[in-house]
Chains A and B, each alone.
Chain A
Amino acid sequence: MAEVTTSLFAPATRPAPVAAPVRQVPTQRPTAQPRSPRRWGWLTGAILPVALLVLWEVLARLGVLRANLLPAPSKVLATIVELARTGELWGHIGITLVRVALGFVLGGALATVLGAATGYSRRLFHLLDPLLQGVRNIPSLAWVPLFILWMGIYETSKVVLIAVGVFFPVYLNLMNGVQGVDRKLVEVGRVHRLSGWQLVRRVFLPATLPAYLVGLRSGLGLGWMFVVAAEIMGANKGLGFLLVDGQMTGRPQTILASILLFAVLGQLTDAGLAALSRYLLRWQDTHGQESNG
């Protein structure tokens, strides 16, 4: 850092030789980077969480916070490390991931078919949408007893519950996206005599992609929410089981460890979808996007 600063000020303090500016061009670039607002934004955002963590740790160690209610962050981390060391952790994470993935695929696939159909066809919209909107207004957790009655306490009812959660955001966004496709672009397709499937593939699909990806992201978010509900209602494995187990055995560090793992996994899977969105939608000309020429 010091070396860079010197080279920045150098031309002002001594008469610059002819070759000097050429040599200095590359050294000036790294100094511009850390000052970019994005990096500062990240650092600013880290101040409060770090401060709170430190405060929490200190108060816990001083005994101000009762260890049987709110253990220190270091103890929560130690719990995770311990679970990882015994190998128990991977089993919990694995089964939870499988449940979310199955529910996401099941609910997402059904929503894709129905959302595309009701968006594309006015007739199907009038036939199906009122029913689906009605079902949507049932708080999804109200299904839990019925699902358990129908499908038992094991995997099927859990996956179906998660699928219900994933279904609606995907369905709504896709349907709105298809209905919102610019009529003018559809006309271009018609002028070029694209019909049926060709029109769908070459105009509707790419034009709907932004809304669809938003739907998938919110669907995935709800999938994570519903896996917690599904695992709390009865499971002997999974991150949600750790929540219940921590409560039953009076170990808040286990509950906090589970919450932390949910946060990390939710964030990671969402970041994956977000990266996929950015890649697929790199043609977009929008406010949120940095222009890269």
Chain B
Amino acid sequence: MNIKRDISTTTLSSFTLSAFFVLTVLSILLQNIPQKLFSAGDSLLKLNSDQGVANAVTTVVVYFRGFDTLGEIAVLFIASFGIGLMLTSQTHGDKNKVKSNFMLQLGARLLFPIIILFGVYVMTFGHLSVGGGFQGGVIIASAVLLMFVSSNHFHLSHRVVEVLETFAGISYVMIGLIGLIVVDSFLGNFLPHNISQLGLLLSGGIVPIIYIIIGIKVGSEMSLIVQNMLQRSDND
């Protein structure tokens, strides 16, 4: 590839200039960095026991960085919305529709509840063991994908998914606002979260509730993405 023909000289030189600028600023910043910045994570992890959550990663994701997680959920919603919007504007029929094998259909139908159960387990035990809402939601969406691949007649009710998604989004913000009123901080932990209940299923106050809400929202959005991607072509 001839670089000189494909990329203009101004672009190359401005890129080099900006890269040099970024490197200079970074080197100045890294030399004068305050020593306290490096221990930010440690001081947060020391506060972990206040929330009574066994999994420290969950405390960081849902409690200390709960607002960031709300933003991530919003980003996922916009991605799902964009995929739906982009794929509705195209109309083309599906020519190579293959009827799937009987064994595939039966196996998928057998596996479907087990995968759903595993996803719900990962979602509900996010504050005790490995996993959480994001992972559980995507596991549920992969079960939906399996059903879509194996069966031609499987269809997600748009109404149900919409209600689930709206409910999850509204209740996340509502819990945050209740925390703002009761504990004076957005997403404050207003439910009992005693350290003596560490390791129990009902522990950690609002943390497991928020993770289940995240799981519902991620699961419904990812399922909707899968449905839009796979079924749009043969619906219209």
Please determine whether chains A and B interact with each other in the same assembly.
no
